[in-house]
């Protein structure tokens, strides 16, 4: 499915958001625009990943950006890359700007390693429909939404085109990395009073053939968190869990009649609602990192990013 992107730059209140970029960096050879990140490929296998403020749900990018979202995603991801580099090497080399990560270009494996510790989100919706298998993995009977699985379930989502599968990838190695990363993420979350509910990891190979962890990890766009305090009590009463993830956006959209289906229109997002989304992202940042979020200067985000990236590249080229 192709992601639908409304590529416009918006100003929200006093906060400028970055919705799209079109830089021309030295030795640039390609540009890829994903749902949220924009990836610049340079010669010598240099990759520049810029986290925008776009908000994606149901494979549709919302028309308004979320202030500081890109900075939050980038800074959580780079911190988590650092905190897990002893488990598996990763692509990251430098973060010259709050919204920017620079590292090694890799050939990605065409699969997302989704791992679930709890019956939540997509898995819970499928379970309510009576399904007991997800991506070929069996789920036990008698569970209610947000119950913890006895063992985390790996439910990989293929990104491969037909006839383009990676035959040389070791399933056992990748699954072991996935479980070890999830265990570390769970331990980090526990230190902050959170439960890491589910997440996804992506892997690739660099030009030397080394397997590297790529993309982002343990961010609110790739993961779901519950607050540990009160989890058992809420579960026992059959109440929704207090969570920090993008699921609250999906639920708001569903309540307002939107699930990305043909003919549906994205509901209007007021400035007040955009404020609450931004605040939720900041809340997650501070909870998962244990650090106070410092808002970057956003009077001219595009110029700031360009200056910082060019300054970094000038030392390399």
Domain annotation covers residue 60: yes
CATH number at residue 294: 3.30.200.20
| pLDDT tens profile 50-81 | 999 999 999 899 999 999 999 999 999 999 99
Residue 209's DSSP bridge partners are none
Task: Name the band, by pLDDT with cuts 50, 70 and 90, for residue 276.
Answer: very high
Contact at 8 Å (CB) between 226 and 118?
yes
If one compares 9 and 184, the residue with the highest pLDDT of the two is: 184
Domain annotation covers residue 27: yes
Over residues 133-160, the mean pLDDT reads 90
Domain annotation covers residue 153: no
DSSP string, 266-286: PPP--HHHHHHHHHHHHHHHH
Is beta strand 157-158 parallel, antiparallel or unpaired with respect to 243-245?
unpaired
Instruction: Say what the pLDDT of residue 4 is.
Output: 36
Angle between helices 69-83 and 171-191 (to 10 degrees): 110
Task: Name the band, by pLDDT with cuts 50, 70 and 90, for residue 280.
Answer: confident
Domain annotation covers residue 64: yes
| pLDDT tens profile 162-185 | 434 444 456 788 999 999 999 999
Contact at 8 Å (CB) between 66 and 274?
yes
Domain annotation covers residue 128: no
Q: How many domains does the chain have?
A: 1
Average pLDDT of the chain to the nearest whole number: 89
Task: Name the band, by pLDDT with cuts 50, 70 and 90, for residue 317.
Answer: low
Domain with 33 in it: 11-105+270-314
Domain annotation covers residue 49: yes
Q: Token pair for residue 242?
A: 């207090």
Domain annotation covers residue 141: no
If one compares 174 and 160, the residue with the highest pLDDT of the two is: 174
Residue 251 makes CB contacts below 8 A (sequence gap 6+) with none
Instruction: Say what the pLDDT of residue 2 is.
Output: 36
Is beta strand 28-33 parallel, antiparallel or unpaired with respect to 15-16?
unpaired
Domain annotation covers residue 30: yes
Task: Name the band, by pLDDT with cuts 50, 70 and 90, for residue 15.
Answer: low
């Amino acid at each position: 499915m192709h992601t639908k992107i409304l590529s416009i730059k918006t100003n929200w209140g006093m906060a400028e958001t970055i919705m799209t970029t079109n830089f021309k960096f030295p030795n640039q050879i390609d540009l890829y625009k994903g749902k949220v990140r924009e990836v610049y490929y340079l010669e010598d296998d240099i990759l520049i990943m810029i986290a925008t403020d776009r908000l994606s749900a149901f494979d549709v990018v919302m028309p308004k950006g979320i202030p500081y979202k890109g900075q939050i995603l980038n800074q959580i991801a780079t911190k988590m890359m650092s905190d897990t580099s002893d488990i598996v090497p990763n692509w990251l080399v430098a973060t010259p700007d709050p919204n920017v990560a620079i590292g090694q270009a890799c050939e990605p494996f065409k699969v997302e390693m989704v791992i679930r510790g709890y019956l939540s989100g997509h898995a819970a919706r499928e379970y309510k429909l009576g399904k007991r298998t997800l991506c070929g993995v069996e789920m036990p009977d008698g569970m209610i939404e947000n119950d913890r699985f006895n063992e985390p379930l790996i439910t990989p989502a293929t990104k491969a085109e037909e006839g383009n599968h990676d035959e040389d990838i070791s399933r056992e190695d990748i699954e072991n990395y996935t479980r070890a990363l999830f265990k570390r993420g769970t331990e980090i979350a526990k230190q902050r009073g959170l439960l890491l509910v589910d997440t996804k990891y992506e892997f690739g190979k660099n030009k030397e053939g080394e397997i590297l962890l790529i993309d982002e990890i343990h961010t609110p766009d790739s993961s779901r968190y519950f607050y540990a305090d009160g989890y058992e009590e809420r579960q026992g009463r059959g109440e929704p869990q207090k969570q920090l993830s993008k699921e609250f956006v999906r639920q708001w959209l569903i309540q307002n009649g939107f699930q990305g289906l043909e003919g549906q229109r994205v509901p209007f997002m007021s400035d007040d609602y955009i404020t609450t989304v931004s605040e939720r992202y900041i809340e997650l940042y501070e909870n998962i990192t244990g650090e106070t979020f410092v808002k970057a200067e956003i009077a001219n985000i595009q110029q700031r990013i360009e200056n910082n990236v060019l300054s970094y590249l000038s030392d390399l080229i």
